Amino acid sequence: MPDPLRDLIPPRHQPLLAPPWVALFSAWLGLLMVVASLVLPFLPGSRQPRYEIEHLIPYSPADRFLPFVVYLSPLALTIGSAVLWQMRKEPRPLTAALAAQRTQAIVGIALTLFGTAIVYIWVATHRT
C-alpha cells in the first residue's frame, strides 16, 4: 500500500564533500605542527618571566612562538575532522580518491596530536 505522506517528507541530503586540497592541507598542517613543536624547545626562553609579564622587557622568542603552535593544533584537528565527517555517509567501500583523502586526513590528525603532545609535555616540564 503506498504511503501518501512519503511525498511530503523531504529526502535527506548527502553532505557535500570537501575539495581534495582540504585533505592534503590537513596532512601538511599536521607536518607543520610537528616541525613547529620540534623547533619550540630550541628557541631561547624567558629568563625573567615576571618582567616580561609586566612589560618591562620584551617577550622571549619562545613566548612569541608558543601561541602560533597552540592555535595551529585546533585548526589542523578541525580541518582533518571535517574531511572525515563529510565522508561519513559515503557508500562503502570508498573510491580510491576518497580513500586517499581519508588517509591524508588521518595522517594530518595523527601528526597534529603527536606535535601537540610534544608541545604540552615540553611546556609542562619546563616551567619557571
Q: How far apart are CA 103 and CA 77, in angstroms?
A: 14
For residue 104, what is the enclosing H or E element?
helix 96-125
* pLDDT band at residue 92 under the 50/70/90 scheme: confident
Half-sphere exposure of 100 (CA within 13 A, CB side): 9
H helices of 40-95, where? 49-53, 61-86
In a domain, 13, yes or no: no
For residue 13, CA distances in Å to 17, 81, 99, 103 come to 12, 20, 21, 25
Whether the predicted pLDDT of 127 surpasses 80: no
pTM of the model: 0.83
pLDDT of residue 74: 96
Half-sphere exposure of 125 (CA within 13 A, CB side): 7
In a domain, 110, yes or no: yes
In a domain, 19, yes or no: no
Longest alpha-carbon distance in the chain: 81
Mean confidence (pLDDT) of the chain: 89
pLDDT of residue 77: 97
Note whether 50 and 59 are within 8 A (CB). no
* Domain enclosing residue 94, as ranges: 29-125
pLDDT of residue 27: 97
Average pLDDT value for residue range 15-42: 94
In a domain, 44, yes or no: yes
In a domain, 39, yes or no: yes
In a domain, 102, yes or no: yes
In a domain, 43, yes or no: yes
Question: Per residue in 39-69, pLDDT tens?
Answer: 999 999 888 888 888 888 998 898 899 999 9
Residues ≥6 apart with Cβ < 8 Å to 124? none
pLDDT of residue 76: 96
Domain total in the chain:
1
